A and B are shown apart, each in its own frame.
Chain A
Amino acid sequence: MNWSEFFNMGGYAFFVWTSYAITFAVIVANIIFPIVQRKNVIARIKRSIKREQIELNKDSA
């Protein structure tokens, strides 16, 4: 089997490769979103820690 035959998928190229492409995209999104979410959660907690420390310093001053 040569490559052009492989990509042609017996005439079903559009259906087979669109299926695989969409699946790949959804899987990549499922990897990226949680990583971004983790960064956002950590940044948010860091911000609130900083805010509290400023408040604490104000109170003690």
Chain B
Amino acid sequence: MWHWIQRFSSPKHFYVMSAPLITWFSVSALLIGAYGLYLGLFVAPTDYQQGESYRIIFIHVPAAWMSMFVYMVMAVSSGIGIIWQIRLADMVAAASAPIGASFAFIALVTGSLWGKPMWGAYWVWDARLTSELILLFLYLGYMALQSAIEDQRSADKASGLLAIVGVVNIPIIHYSVEWWNTLHQGATVAKFDKPSMHIDMLIPLLLMAVAFKLFYAAVVLVRARNEALYRDRNRRWVRELVERL
């Protein structure tokens, strides 16, 4: 078992195996995203309270979900990297940070643009918004630590610890709308009851969430492959591979 994990998590093996996956993930992300956008912008009915402004939901909510999902991927792979010293896990964590930061940024900006017409303000220091902003800062802190520390193993350890400690923020984001009085609306999909949303709105929302996830899968593979090449730049497999390119 251990031997098997070691072999399959070798950067070289990963580099070779991941190549075809990138195409599959990109193409399916594009197709599902296009269909989701079509349904969201053209087919989904107008909201009876928010009018057409609610259509921001089809990017805002998937981006917010992804900002938390990618963070969990980053924290778990950092943990695997620290505990079992699997180098591929550290590469995946480092590759995830800029993508997760992008999703957190999208969630904050689109939320702000949605908040202005609905709440009358681009920004309020509300629990949900503030904890999401902290998530963006955690991503930026991880990236800063990665680039500030010269030695790769120390960089992975320091930034990985930050990622793991920052996990405490994830339930805070999720439950912020219940724990505090907030302007932000409560959960409509991710709850035990059935989603309180019209099916014609829910389907494009879920399609966009799947498309964002596939997009992340494609981009994280490209970035992790870059990490593998760079970190193994003095090893023979990279040398041989680069000379053929």
Contact = CB atoms under 8 A, between A and B. Distances in A.
Given A19-B59, A38-B225, A46-B242, A9 B52 contact: yes
A10 B117 CA distance: 12
Grouping DSSP codes into helix (H, G, I), strand (E, B) and loop, the B interface class, with mixed when no group exceeds half, is helix
Size bracket of the A interface? 20 to 34
Contacts of B226: 34, 37-38, 41
A59 to B, nearest CB: 19
Contacts of B113: 15-16, 18-19, 22
Contacts of A27: 102, 215
Size bracket of the B interface? 35 or more
A16 B109 CA distance: 11
A34 B173 CA distance: 29
A60 interface: no
Contacts of B46: 10
A49 B239 contact: yes
Contact of B99 (A30, A38, A49): A30
Interface of A: 1, 6, 9-12, 15-16, 18-20, 22-23, 26-27, 29-31, 33-35, 37-38, 41-42, 44-46, 48-49
